[in-house]
Structure 1
Amino acid sequence: MKESDRKFEKLLKEAVCSYHKEEMDALPSEEELQDIQLSDDFYRKMDGLVKKQKRRWQYRFVRYGAVAASFLLFTFGTVGAAAYALMGAENFKAFFKKHAKEYHVADSAVMDLEQLTDMAVTTAGTVYEDDNIRLDLKGLIKSGNRFSMIVEGTLKQQDQIVTAGGPQEEHAYGFLNTDVNAEQDLMASGTYYYQEDDKSLASNQFVYVTNYSAEAGFDSDQYEFTFEDFGYYQEDGTEDEAESTDDEVSAYSASEDSGILENPISICSGTWKFTVDMDQAKDISYKKVCDQTVSDGEDDVKINRIVLSPMGCSIYITLPQSQKDSGKYFDNVHIRLKNGSLLSEEYYEMGIADCELSGDDEAADAVKVSRELDFDFRVPIDISQVKAIEIFGESIEVEACK
């Protein structure tokens, strides 16, 4: 990562944290809120908004810009399940080899691509196709509490991703809504690649690489995903709203309260439900229940659990409700390797998301909040080379072995 990029990220992080603090300080006090009587209609409306926006809100915690995930799985053909898994693993290897060069980690001894063969799920090779879109699942790998997926999409009725009435930047486009029937909170991060990123893609094609993590993991045999619409988001309240046409219509009704929600505009509409079989993947991961307390300099932070896998590391913590500054964790949580060095920032993207409290902590949720510190590795690493997780100077050793 260039020094100019690091400086920009630092300034951006400081600006976001400062803005967030100002917004929180401007909110009414608890005493003032208790004096306000709200109608039942208001509560029904807000409940609907929260349900619709829950996952989009969670993704905003991801440091480098996360997007909703999509899972595209219709199995057909004559190729066996083992062959599909092998194909998916090879697609992931090719993907990581390419991006390892971009992040200047291609020659690193920490990266290990061969383990992807054991982590591959046999659902790879699945295709969904109708008159408007083709979705091809190129690879699906699972380990520990997370899985990753590569999806290639083609908009069949369009010559290019960008539309005349929409944003003129390809990366403003993506899937508008997804849902998963997992009975747990999820954290997601993802990246779109278009022709400007990969010259092998046509102007109406994209590749979507996404990562999911869940504290309880993904141990069920199957998961069902609902995937809706491809398009972009337009801020409510703008004077030049996109006009509805046969090919470009709003995926959802805009919020009645201007500014609460962005207005989703679909350029390829549809709703698809897919079933994912989480079979045969080898669990290459290390899990540790910590129940350890460290100090962040102001408050005590309880480290509940650590899950380390080749694709990332999740650290589940409980901290005081009054602790609003998440930005400090980006600079004070590290992965220490056995050779004595820290895993450098070129290897990962870091995010923070709120989680649900449980057990004794749930009873104290008026004063505590649970969060997941998430490292998404840009390339799969050999976790047997990891020595410890360091949090605010405290070292928590791990003994991962492959």
Structure 2
Amino acid sequence: MNLLVIGINHNSASVELRERVAFVPEQMGAALGAALGQQGVAELAILSTCNRTELYVVADGDIDGAADDALLQWLADFHHIAVADLRQCSYCFQAREALSHMMRVAVGLDSMVLGEPQILGQMKSAYAQAVEAGTANAALHRVFSQVFSTAKRVRTDTAIGENPVSVAYAAVSLTQHVFSKLSQCTALLIGAGETIELVARHLKEKGVKRIIIANRTLDRARHLAQELGAEAVMLADIPQYLLDADILVSSTASQLPILGKGAVEMALKKRKHRPIVMVDIAVPRDIEPQVADLSDVYLYTVDDLRQIVDENKRAREHEAIRADDIIIAAAADWDVQLRAQDAISTVKDYRAKAEQLRDAELERALRQLAKGDTAEAVLEQLARGLTNKLLHSPTTQLKEAGAKGRTDLISWARELFQLKDSDS
């Protein structure tokens, strides 16, 4: 199998170029069909995310530089950009390297956030789109099956994705140290920027029953709340909703604290001292430091989160080494399978040829029996004729090899037919 990967990613290309080369979902069917029409392309799938665009190709014949250039030219033409701009930031992998790269992508080893799990789902979608478009068949099915099974093994046998490496996810993880069942919690989020949006999405995934988003601009809070099925309130309403909040996460651009010790102390009394986990991601801080002195309040700052994230990054890097070992072994095993597949194909062809010879000799034997020849004579002729025909081609080739001095072929033949050494 001639496997080829061509692409660009966040390490090789600027965000501006990645945006220009990305495929929108509406384009994918047409793009797959057009790429399949390129010379030498037998099967094809395309992965396109905000951080990478990659073509996974099974070629008809041997892969050479011309095939790489032709696909890069097609990619440039499709997106109306100069191929020179694409060529200087693209990469190309072949055979085992191509498979290893696909595996690394699938498990998040090649991601901007090491070990992030979303990319595996995106690869599965890319394969499904190619199957639907008719550009992925048996060969790519075997490739992606190997990639997905290896990714599953990495996720099972390592902790590559277990430790949060984003501030937003780390904030949510901290709450689980206090509350074992987040589904019974109410979360109050202050701010409506990107970090708060990520926190809200993580909380929703964890099953938090009620999310309240407080923001200086109510329209922005409402927009985010609608997406997540949350409630939107003004900053002035925080004391009222603080009474219900088990989790509070704040991330605004305010130059002054938004939440003071007095307001929190009053809320705790009305809450009958039920604990509150507070995570202040803002710089400058949104929550007065003195709040940490209150009983029943667990206050974490951005420095606490960064320490957790740094430790988790180191943990993921350690697990990435184990993941790489799994991938190296899987890619080597894939090579063995491919070589075995080639041998199986040869065995099938040889068996088919032998069966043709057998059928021809059997038909002749049946005719001889019908004419009245004795069974002994017919069997003897059948055995002799079948032996001669089976040995004719190998004998001719071995004689020719000897005449040409191809002792290597003769040695292989002796091993193949399990013959004793000629000296013994």
Give the structure with the larger helix fraction: 2
Structure of higher CA gyration radius: 2
Q: Which TM-score band applies after superposition, normalised by the shorter structure?
A: under 0.3
Q: Give the TM-score taking structure 1 as reference length.
A: 0.21
**Relative contact order, CA 8 A, sep 6+: which one is greater?**
1
More strand by share: 1
TM-score, normalised to structure 2's length?
0.20
